Amino acid sequence: MSEIALTQAPAHARHGSNIGQPLTRRDGVLKVTGAARYAADNHPPGMLHAVLAISRIARGRVAFLDVAAAGAHPGVVAVMTPANAPKLAVDPEVKTHPFVFRIDVLQNDRVRYAHQPIAVVIAETLEAATEGAALLAPRYETEPAQTGLDGDDGFVPPVLGAGQPAVLRHGDVAAGLAAAARRIEATYATPAQYHNAMEPHAIVAAWDGGRLLIDTPSQGLVLARARIAELFGLEPGHVLIRSPFLGGGFGSKGLLTGPQVLGIMAARLVGRPVKLVLRREQMFGPVGHRAPTRQTLRLGTDADGRLTALDHHTRTATSRFDDFIEPCGGVSHTLYAAAAIATTHEAVRRDTGTPNFMRAPGEASGSAALESAIDEMADACGMDPLAFRLHNYAEVEPVSGKPFSSKALRACYAEGAARFGWARRPRAPRQMRDAGGRLVGWGVGTATFPALMFQAEARAVLRRDGTAIMESGAHDMGQGAWTALAQIAADALGLEIGQVEFRAGASDLPDAGIAGGSAHTATAGIAIHGAGADAIARLAALAVGDERSPLFGAGNAGVVARGGRLHRSDDAARSESYADILARAGLAEIQGQGRSAADPAAQTRYAMHAHGAVFAEVTVDPALGQMRVTRLLGAFAAGRLINPRLVRSQYYGGMIWGVSFALHERAVMDPRTGRPMNPNFAAYHVPVNADIPAIDAILVEEHDPHVNALGIKGVGEIGITGTAAAIANAIWHATGVRPRRFPVMPHEVVALMA
Amino acid sequence: MNSFEYVRPATIAEAVAAGAAPGAAFLAGGTNLLDLLKGDLMRPTRLVDVTRLAELGRIERLPGGGVRIGALVRNADLAHDQPFASDFPAVAEALLSGASAQVRNAATVGGNLLQRTRCVWFYDVASACNRRAPGTGCDARGGEGRGDAVLGWSEACIATHPSDFCVPLVALDAVVEIAGPAGRREVPLDLFHRLPGDAPERDSVLAPGELVVAVRLPPEAAAFAAHARYLKLRERTSFAFAVVSAAAALRMEAGGIVAARIALGGVAAKPWRARAAEDVLAGARPDGTVFRRAAEAALADARPSGPDATRIELARRIVARALALAAAGTPARVPALPASPFAPIPGAAAHV
Amino acid sequence: MSLSISLTVNGAARAVTLDDPRVTLLDLLRERLDLTGTKKGCDRGQCGACTVLLDGRRINACLTLALACDDADVVTIEGLADGDVLHPVQAAFLAHDALQCGFCTPGQIMSAVGLVAEGQAGDDPERVREGMSGNLCRCGAYDGITAAVLDAQRRIAEQGKARAA
């Protein structure tokens, strides 16, 4: 059971108590006082420390490990290698579920990517385990490794990342391009990126006979529990995972990773609780990444600037041993009313860890390319890039012809442009300078992300003291589930939020699905809403059937729950408290259950996406190439917003990821060895505070009656989409040169301008 | 990290004696050493903690206007020492452009001089690196090439020295005071760091047991205070090492340049003094043309050690810009974004 | 030499005997003194999550050897609030939603307390941004962090004035 006592927000920071109110974070006090307990903060009695040893080659086998030297280091308790690693109940190479990825957990001596775990050293102290791992001094039989996208290999994958088709054709692109009055063709490159949540993957594992207690950050508790149970031959109910707080996830903590399994194995090997925390460099290998891409866009327009064809081809990479293909083409399916659209993907196999979901998988990289190409096409047409986008606005989803469940993108463009001052933008590049003579440019990009929905369950308990419990094993990785879902729970139960004890973050609670795809608030929220409604309905049935109740005879539909009382809808003065109803019925509590799932009928009828417009001002030093995003504004429409304060933070976070995509982050792989050469925060740059001088977001109103019962679309990922291209487009507008390789770096801008 | 003996000497003599043993390393702020230990890039068997040598923690004004900075003075304390920052504003600006506030609060003057290269091949224990492991080769050759030296490199090593602080120091003729088993000696900072040659494992001229005790700036260095800047190209706005950097200091009279001091960072295994460029400027009127000529003179001997051809031109441009900024006058206070191209640009320097 | 040190942690004198000279201040706090509020994000001084006050100055605890902290005064995130009353920086972080996942937050807050004490930034947001750039936030809460630091600094100054009056 989760044991999190959420401290109430201080009174001065409270602004309301239900959906739509900008409450401060309910877990905020725990987080600002250091009391929030993350996985690695646990320290059960008798705990040992485990440290991974990782491969320094990308392909081959481990020929020798100096286990004796490591074992002789004072404090070292055990060295786990393929020779003594506990055997698993199922072969981890077997994909027992579409969302099971192959992991490297010391079942053999093969090395298939750099930084793969090759041993685990377990010791009384972290210092001893760390040195023990260094003393292993592995020797390898090295085979040539290949990274990057060059080469004449390549295959068309059967499916993309989450199951999308690799090839989609709508209309005749060749004919559309042939008939076009103007055409552009450009190739954009995006690098490998690593999630790098601030919290490294960590696990504290403790066996108790055939039971297993685990503290580890998880974006998908029940999925992880099932996988652990399967690997170790346990009943799922005998595995308890606690994950009350994730120090960021961004997709990398969605599926169980190899190092987490190794922590459990280590605990079994030594028969004591074990803590295993990844070092930062170990985050560059076994826990996923965003694959590099090379995307070629071919666009054509007629003489009026209307798109006749949009061809979006992606070349990307997956690992040698598993498939995750970055689905870049999706954005091209929905954004522009091109007469013909084709999206194709090809992949190569490389000696890297398997890529996986990373904040806006597909849409982030895909929109960086598409929205750059749209800008190039607008320029080729001699049109303002915003006007060009409006000119080709998709009134229905182009590839399917379906109407949108809602689409307030025009309002996003309009409100964003007005606040940004877009009307003052000169169309030609290199026209604006700041007081210091630096070049200034303005760019726009369209943001889009699908409104997804998974399956979840929730349980509500109304208690005789007038309070309630709401349970759903939801995950708070910073997006604010502890707060937003509690707001939904309070509304559903007709209670003040302080009267609802919300339980989440543990695997023994009802399955809240996976926190991904920007779908968690909708998925868990609707289950919670349903559970609350169910409990209230049961309570109402007690009251309306009891002639001693003032609600007698009202009928189920004839009551509303508010302030801990049921009121007759036709006469609000006639009411009764939950406590009185339960007391009279002699019940200590009453329970309700809720479930959520996407509505297939609505999905068949409508295209469901959130939208937005991102406006960027970039200042460029013309001689040195140093760049700064001096203004960034996003206007987003994403249906109903549960907590605008948290939503704004999600938008900002996504947009800052866009800044990072545009200007900062990239893994540098040594093509000679396949090793990442910048596996640390000194060299793998993400934005610092000084990189974000002015950021703003407009929360555009949007009412969506179709997307789901609460009208929620999700806000966690859309911020990154459109932003990278808006910045690249602003660099073009500032300098007159078009960057087509992300991130855009000073020396490259200087070279382009030469 | 291997285990080590930890000793905390009470006097410089004790420190030198303890530090002369094979495998010993001095520990001061620890901001570089701990990083190196954790990466198994250095595995000393004894750490000699010199932080309790209080006499090394003072900033002393010298008769005639110079300053003597104890080796243990923290970077932040020096940068925020008002008299020091007034006399040597480019040094303060360089200090404040380096690392983060947390690192600057811990890092010392002596440690800054002795910090090791940030070359990624040096940092990757599995790579061949003559500087880290003599005789293994240099995997930086044939690598991506960003951050490689363009001056003073050898076939054995193309690493650069990462310090910001040392760049204006070397421009201003700083002198390093050293205590060692054989007594005290002084070395001009320009001769303190070694070019790699065929022994890149030796970063500096320090012998085993030798301890940096102070850095001195001569009285003449303060004469440049009115026109002194440090400028640093970075791949993000803050908390990043220099792609290239430059310190420029001018002594100006009646609108003309009487004397110039120029040095570059991020281009060589040492902070690179550009005397030929200084000669171009002596007696010249400050304008973009002469700054560009000076910049070309500064990089006259440069040759790329890797595939990135833009580094040399970027270095020229940053020299020219730093000179223009210096000519426009030292700002009253170190800018909010120290050494950044995004710091306010005085009008006269805008179009260089 | 003995591996015993004495130091003050959050106002309380602590005598610590170390079995290993390699222990950093960060690992001393987290693994031996049960003060896990201070976080390890990179362990190399590159992220700021481990920021604490050492003798009143913000530093990276991961780059500080515990043995070198003999006689030192250490303040961590756990030592900031006065009972249930949050420190003004903590309160401002809540009010400005200057956090998301919360993992970098203790380091951000300790860094902000250090920045205010240094007194170099004044009310210039650009100086605050620069001064807070040693603390990475992968969630991207920078705008709220800058606002929170400025807000807290004002409140602290007002409190100081009120006390002086």
Residue with tokens 């409190």: C159
The reply to whether B64 and B212 lie within a common domain is: yes
Of the candidates A281, A230, A347, A267, the residue with the CA atom closest to the CA atom of residue A116: A281
The reply to whether A93 and A215 lie within a common domain is: yes
The reply to whether A445 and A459 lie within a common domain is: no
pLDDT at A4: 53
Judge whether A717 counts as a catalytic residue.
Answer: yes
Give a yes or no: residue A308 inside a domain: no
The reply to whether A468 and A441 lie within a common domain is: no
Final residue of a structural domain among B176, B195, B219? B219
Q: Which domain CATH number covers A49? A: 3.90.1170.50
* Chain A: partners with 3+ C-beta pairs within 8 Å: B, C
The reply to whether A367 and A515 lie within a common domain is: no
Catalytic entry in A185, A235, A717, A748: A717
CA B12 and chain centroid, separation: 24
Q: Which residues constitute the domain of residue B18?
A: 8-52
* DSSP assignment letter at A6: P
Residue A142 near residue A59 (C-beta atoms within 8 A):
yes
Q: Which domain CATH number covers A562? A: 3.30.365.10
Q: What is the 3-state secondary structure (H, E, C) of A227-293?
A: HHHHHHCCCHHHEEEECCCCCCCCCCCCCCCHHHHHHHHHHHHHCCCEEEECCHHHHCCCCCCECCE
Q: Which domain CATH number covers B204? A: 3.30.465.10
Q: Are strands B67-70 and A60-64 parallel, antiparallel or unpaired?
A: unpaired
SS3 A2: coil
The reply to whether A415 and A496 lie within a common domain is: no
The reply to whether A492 and A587 lie within a common domain is: yes
Residue A240 near residue A505 (C-beta atoms within 8 A):
no
Q: Residue ranges per domain, chain C? A: 4-79, 88-164
The reply to whether B328 and B273 lie within a common domain is: yes
Asked whether the beta carbons of residue C143 and residue A41 sit closer than 8 angstroms, the reply is no
Task: Pick left, alpha or beta for residue C140 (phi over 0 → left; psi -120 to 50 → alpha; otherwise beta).
Answer: left
The reply to whether B87 and B211 lie within a common domain is: yes
The reply to whether A473 and A447 lie within a common domain is: no
Selecting from B118, B235, B351 the residue whose C-beta is nearest the C-beta of A437 gives B351
The reply to whether B194 and B224 lie within a common domain is: no
Selecting from A624, A675, A682 the residue whose C-beta is nearest the C-beta of B233 gives A624
| Strand ranges for A153-232 from DSSP E | 167-170, 182-190, 202-208, 211-215
In CATH, C88-164 is 3.40.50.300: no
pLDDT at A16: 36
The reply to whether A612 and A700 lie within a common domain is: yes
Domain count, chain A: 3
Any CB–CB contact under 8 A between B56 and chain C? no
The reply to whether B95 and B177 lie within a common domain is: yes
Nearest-Cα distance to chain B for A373, in Å, is 25
The reply to whether B314 and B252 lie within a common domain is: yes
The reply to whether A534 and A479 lie within a common domain is: yes
Say how far apart CA B13 and CA A522 lie, in whole Å.
69
In degrees to the nearest 10, what's the CA dihedral of A336, A337, A339, A342?
Answer: 30
Beta bridge partners of B333: none
The reply to whether B211 and B224 lie within a common domain is: no
Say how far apart CA C52 and CA C8 lie, in whole Å.
13
Q: Search chain A and give the residue with CA nearest C132.
A: A689
Average pLDDT of each block of 10 consecutive residues along chain B (352 residues)?
96 97 98 98 98 97 95 98 98 98 98 97 96 97 86 97 98 98 97 98 97 98 98 98 98 97 98 98 97 98 89 97 97 97 77 48
Asked whether the beta carbons of residue C100 and residue A29 sit closer than 8 angstroms, the reply is no
Counting Cβ atoms within 10 Å, is residue A557 exposed (0-12), middle (13-18) or buried (19+)? exposed
| Strand ranges for A96-223 from DSSP E | 110-111, 117-123, 139-142, 167-170, 182-190, 202-208, 211-215
Give a yes or no: residue B213 inside a domain: yes
Whether the bond between B134 and the residue before it is cis, its omega within 30 degrees of 0, is no
Give a yes or no: residue B124 inside a domain: no
Give a yes or no: residue B133 inside a domain: no
Q: Which domain CATH number covers B33? A: 3.30.43
pLDDT at B349: 55
- From the candidates A277, A626, A663, A741, which should be mutated to test the interface with B, based on the most B CB atoms within 10 A? A626
The reply to whether B78 and B202 lie within a common domain is: yes
Give a yes or no: residue A100 inside a domain: yes
Give a yes or no: residue A628 inside a domain: yes
Final residue of a structural domain among A277, A311, A344? A277
DSSP A574-600: EEEEHHHHHHHTT-SEEEEEEEE---H
Give a yes or no: residue B83 inside a domain: yes
Residue A450 near residue A404 (C-beta atoms within 8 A):
no
The reply to whether A391 and A412 lie within a common domain is: yes
CA distances from C156 to A32, B132, C152 (A): 17, 48, 6
Q: Are strands A341-350 and A307-319 parallel, antiparallel or unpaired?
A: parallel
Burial B127-144 (b: 16+ CB within 10 A, else e): bebbbbeeeeebbbbebb
The reply to whether B191 and B251 lie within a common domain is: no
Give a yes or no: residue B12 inside a domain: yes
CB pairs under 8 A between B and C: 101
What six digits make up the tokens of A496? 């003040």
What six digits make up the tokens of C86? 């949050």
Give a yes or no: residue B14 inside a domain: yes
Residue A277 near residue C49 (C-beta atoms within 8 A):
no
The reply to whether A496 and A617 lie within a common domain is: no
pLDDT at A32: 98
pLDDT at A1: 39
CATH number of the domain at C4-79, out of 3.90.1150.10, 3.40.50.720, 3.50.50.60, 3.10.20.30? 3.10.20.30
Mean pLDDT for chain A overall: 96
Give a yes or no: residue A428 inside a domain: yes
Give a yes or no: residue B78 inside a domain: yes
Could you count the other beta carbons within 10 Å of the beta carbon of residue A110?
Answer: 15
The reply to whether B180 and B71 lie within a common domain is: yes
Q: Which residues constitute the domain of residue A476?
A: 455-597
Q: Would you say the ipTM is above 0.90?
A: yes
Final residue of a structural domain among A247, A277, A307? A277
Average pLDDT of each block of 10 consecutive residues along chain A (754 residues)?
44 52 96 98 98 98 98 98 97 92 97 98 98 98 97 96 94 98 98 98 97 98 97 98 98 97 98 98 98 98 98 98 98 98 98 98 98 98 98 98 98 98 98 96 98 97 97 97 97 94 98 96 97 96 93 81 93 94 96 97 97 98 98 98 97 98 97 97 98 98 96 97 98 98 97 94
Residue B237 near residue B342 (C-beta atoms within 8 A):
yes
Nearest-Cα distance to chain A for B281, in Å, is 21
Any CB–CB contact under 8 A between B5 and chain C? yes
SS3 B33: helix
The reply to whether B166 and B292 lie within a common domain is: no
- Residue A67 CB partners (closer than 8 Å, separation 6+): A79, A81, A83, A119, A136
Say how far apart CA B278 and CA B282 lie, in whole Å.
6
What six digits make up the tokens of A7? 């401290």
For a pLDDT cut of 70, what percent of chain C falls above it?
99
Domain count, chain B: 3
Give a yes or no: residue A619 inside a domain: yes
Asked whether the beta carbons of residue A685 and residue B120 sit closer than 8 angstroms, the reply is no
Half-sphere exposure of A367 (CA within 13 A, CB side): 34
Mean pLDDT of C16-44: 97
Give a yes or no: residue B131 inside a domain: no
Give a yes or no: residue A336 inside a domain: no
The reply to whether A589 and A483 lie within a common domain is: yes
The reply to whether B253 and B324 lie within a common domain is: yes
